Amino acid sequence: MAESQLQKLKYGDELMEAAEQIARGKTGRPPAAVRIYFEETGKMKNASTTLLLCKFCHKEIAGRAISLEGHLKKCPNAPEEARPPKGAKKEKVPRSASDMAFGGGHGNGNGGVKGEHKHSMKKLCTVTTSMEGKFRNLLVPKLAAIQSLHLMLRDKRSSHLQFKHHADRLMRIMAEEALAVCAVEFATVWTPNGMEYSGMRPNNNLCAVSIQRSGDCLLEQVLQCDPSVSVGKLLIQRDETSAEKTPILFYSKLPPRLPTFDRVLLLDPMLATGGSAMMAIQLLRNAGVDEANIVLVNVVSCPVGLSYIFDTFPSIKILTSAIDPDLNANKSVLPGLGSFGDRYYNTTN
């Protein structure tokens, strides 16, 4: 059949069937044009270069499948079984008063969620900045990796292995930062290329005291960075039956020469009310450790706990990777990441 003879091709049953299959695809929109085989050239060619004749209303239409679909929707003579299915209209979800308060979205159901998310993220940044300005001994590393790891830790869908993997990565960063904070000696060395390089020399007179059991996660990372660090243990748990979550000391094992260390790292991933950390700091002070030589290291803290500790011990240093703005009725940080110890050791319900 010559190509000129195909300039007007009757919309036959086979072509209609092919177009109908495309029109009724999963997406509702055909991905490509209908193609026709030309015997004269032996090649396939897009039907969009020709004009087709609808067999129902006998009108000429463009040959692209999208146009065929559109024509079938409007063709007055086409039977219902040949028409593409009509897509269901999406109902607009009414925005609640809280969504309106956050000012999110523009006429869609997710607007309030987006607005709330932007509001909470802005609040996180504002709290961190204000707390750093308020307390000169508060250290919050600004690393892109920390934010990415926090995303995985805070995701409630993260499995135990995912949580542990990303928690170890984050705590390794915090361990390195903590050891850097403990450096007290400035030194200059010569490189193999005959050039000078200056910096703070790592301190080898350190002690790390973990508040069990979550503190042991941080302790493991500190020991991987510096195996020579001396170790102390404190078992302090909150009384969950009390309204104020009063801390209770169950066990204490500290090195005898604790006051002689240049720095003492106090390790506890979560700082909420600050009760457990305050008790641990007081135990270190009673053992003879100078307040200025204590570095509290944690993953997530909040203004309530930070203010409580700094108001009592202003010379202490606190290194944290995030500051969450609020506490809930159960005295847990918000937005938080759940129970760190339970998620890390896989003891959740």
Predicted local confidence at residue 313, as pLDDT: 93
Q: What domains lie within the chain, and their CATH numbers? A: 13-81 (no CATH), 127-345 (3.40.50.2020)
Q: How many helical (H) and strand (E) elements, i.e. helices and strands, does the chain have?
A: 10, 17
Peptide bond into 343 cis (omega under 30): no
Q: List Cα–Cα distances, 147 to 125, 142, 225, in angstroms.
A: 12, 9, 22
Give the Cα separation of 111 and 130 in Å (integer).
28
Residue ranges of the chain whose pLDDT lies below 50? 1-13, 15-16, 19-32, 48-50, 63-66, 88, 90-91, 93-114, 117
Predicted local confidence at residue 10, as pLDDT: 44
The beta-strand segments (E) located in the chain are 8-10, 35-38, 43-46, 51-53, 60-62, 138-139, 185-190, 196-201, 206-212, 230-238, 247-253, 263-267, 270-271, 294-301, 317-323, 326-327, 333-334
Q: Which residues contact 110 (CB under 8 A, 6 or more apart)?
A: none
Predicted local confidence at residue 62, as pLDDT: 52
Predicted local confidence at residue 210, as pLDDT: 93
Task: Please state at what angle helix 160-181 crosses helix 215-225, rounded to 10 degrees.
Answer: 60
Predicted local confidence at residue 57, as pLDDT: 75
Predicted local confidence at residue 242, as pLDDT: 75
pLDDT tens by residue, 5-64: 444 444 444 544 554 444 444 444 444 455 555 555 666 655 544 455 667 776 766 544
Contact 71, 34 (CB under 8 A): no
Give the Cα separation of 44 and 18 in Å (integer).
15
Give the Cα separation of 36 and 269 in Å (integer).
67
Give the Cα separation of 318 and 298 in Å (integer).
8
State the pairing for strand pair 270-271/263-267.
Answer: unpaired
Q: What is the pTM of this model?
A: 0.63
- CA 213 from chain center: how many Å? 25
Predicted local confidence at residue 34, as pLDDT: 52
Predicted local confidence at residue 106, as pLDDT: 42
Predicted local confidence at residue 340, as pLDDT: 86
Q: Is the dihedral of CA 297, 130, 148, 158 positive or negative?
A: positive
Reading the block at residue 310, the tokens are 């700094």
Cα-based angle 331, 335, 339 (whole degrees, multiple of 5): 60
Task: Reduce the DSSP state of residue 201 to 3 states and report it.
Answer: strand
- CA 173 from chain center: how many Å? 17
